[in-house]
Chains A and B, each alone.
Chain A
Amino acid sequence: AQSVTQPDIHITVSEGASLELRCNYSYGATPYLFWYVQSPGQGLQLLLKYFSGDTLVQGIKGFEAEFKRSQSSFNLRKPSVHWSDAAEYFCAVGAREKLIFGTGTRLQVFP
């Protein structure tokens, strides 16, 4: 069965520090992978997507993610976190007819 695991429920980093949010997926075919961000009181906004090709994907707001087929992972990274990055982050895998979302990782940023 298709599934997405985000093992970190809550992560705290200092502003300016680097960030890596983990995502592992289970899917039988070539996955379509997405990262979304949700700020308080808002809907989910697409950060980046992976369909095929280069395994390092660039997104908005300075985020990038790397697809590693051997590890079934699609981790999100940012070299220097800003206070405005505090939000909840969702990883998702595209099954044929819908997206399967992970449970999310809440990012807290300290000044």
Chain B
Amino acid sequence: DAGVIQSPRHEVTEMGQEVTLRCKPISGHNSLFWYRQTMMRGLELLIYFNNNVPIDDSGMPEDRFSAKMPNASFSTLKIQPSEPRDSAVYFCASSFWGEPGPGNQPQHFGDGTRLSIL
């Protein structure tokens, strides 16, 4: 079975540009999570969706960050405008949201997008 697919794998762009990261979750999973990983902060949960609806975006660092999930098989994380401090590896993960919640299910991670903002 195909795992979580993220694109692009690497992105290098200049400060001020718009960046769009893409994720295709595992078929049948109904929860999707976006994480950011840096040396300084470790793994941070940015936002997560259940059945395509954003549930908690309290981890989104600023209004420059936005995420959408227009359907069950696709999500985007957008940064506009980008800044050098946004440089990190961004991971998407998916799982099945059962009862009492997705915290009792393992998450399956993509290979990440390594983002460098110059």
Contact = CB atoms under 8 A, between A and B. Distances in A.
A99 interface: yes
On chain A, which size bracket covers the interface? 20 to 34
A94 B45 CA distance: 13
Contacts, number: 54
Interface in A33-53: 34, 36, 41-46, 49, 51
B101 A96 contact: yes
Contacts of A97: 48, 55-56, 101-103
Interface in B44-64: 45, 48, 55-56
A1 to B, nearest CB: 14
B32 to A, nearest CB: 12
Interface string B71-111: 00000000000000000000101000000111111111111
A90 B109 contact: no
A43 B55 CA distance: 23
Contacts of A98: 33, 45, 48, 56, 102-103
Given A43-B111, A97-B102, A104-B42, 7 more contacts: A43-B109, A44-B93, A46-B106, A51-B104, A94-B104, A98-B45, A104-B43
5 contacts: A32-B104, A43-B111, A51-B104, A96-B100, A97-B102
